[in-house]
Amino acid sequence: MPRTRPEIEEALRVFASNLPALAEVTDPLAEAAIERLVSAILADAEPEDRGFVRERLTCLLGSAGVIPSDNEDEPCVGSG
């Protein structure tokens, strides 16, 4: 069942707080864990929230250096 926007925002906050530790581990299992978390958050979003969720996840992953990004080491501001 899809989550509400506030529930998705909380899931993104939790993901963001755990991402630095996961990103430090250069291990295929850590990469797989990140992928599973990203997929789960996106799958739980209402269709109308998926664009917002993709943008936030892309920003968070880029900021943490998990994916190539212009915002590496910069904080992702705002929740939407």
Q: What is the largest CA-CA distance in the chain?
A: 34
Reading the chain (80 residues) residue by residue, the pLDDT tens digits are: 789 999 999 999 999 999 989 888 888 888 899 999 999 999 999 999 999 999 999 999 998 888 887 766 677 765 44
> Among positive and negative, which fits the CA dihedral 67, 72, 75, 79?
negative
pTM to 2 decimal places: 0.84
Structural domain spans, the chain: 5-63
How far apart CA 53 and CA 8 sit, in angstroms, is 8
